Amino acid sequence: MYTVRDWIYRHLSDPQVVALTVVLLVGFGIITFFGSMLVPVFASVVLAYLLEGVVRVLARYGVPRRLAVLLIFTVFLFCLTLVLFALVPTIMRQILQLVENLPAMLEQGQAALLRLPERYPHLFSTEQISALLDGIRREAVAYARGVASSISLASVVMVLTIVVYAVLLPVLIFFFLWDKDKILGWLGRFMPRHHGLASSVWREVDLQIGNYVRGKFVEIAIVWAGSYVTFLFLNLDFAMLLALLVGLSVIIPYVGATVVTLPIAIVAYFQFGTSSEFVWVLVAYAIIQAIDANILVPVLFSEAVNLHPVAIIVAILIFGGIWGFWGVFFAIPLATVIQAVLNAWPRATDESRAAARDDEAPLRPREIKADEALAGKR
Res. 63 pLDDT band, cuts 50 70 90: confident
Region 15-22 average pLDDT: 70
pTM of this structure? 0.70
Tell me the three state secondary structure of residue 68: helix
Q: pLDDT tens digit string along 264-292?
A: 988 898 888 878 889 999 999 999 988 98
CA distance 279 to 1: 64
Residues 6+ apart with CB under 8 A from 172: 40, 41, 44, 48
Res. 83 pLDDT band, cuts 50 70 90: confident
Note whether 89 and 198 are within 8 A (CB).
Answer: no
CA distance 198 to 45: 20
Region 6-20 average pLDDT: 63
Region 340-353 average pLDDT: 59
Q: pLDDT tens digit string along 168-187?
A: 888 899 998 888 888 878 87
The phi, psi pair for 301, rounded to 5°, reads -120, 35
Using a pLDDT cut of 70, give the percent of the chain over it.
Answer: 74
Residues 6+ apart with CB under 8 A from 305: 208, 336, 339, 340
Note whether 358 and 26 are within 8 A (CB).
Answer: no
Task: Return the closest-CA partner of residue 90 out of 286, 244, 248, 229.
Answer: 244
Residues 6+ apart with CB under 8 A from 184: none
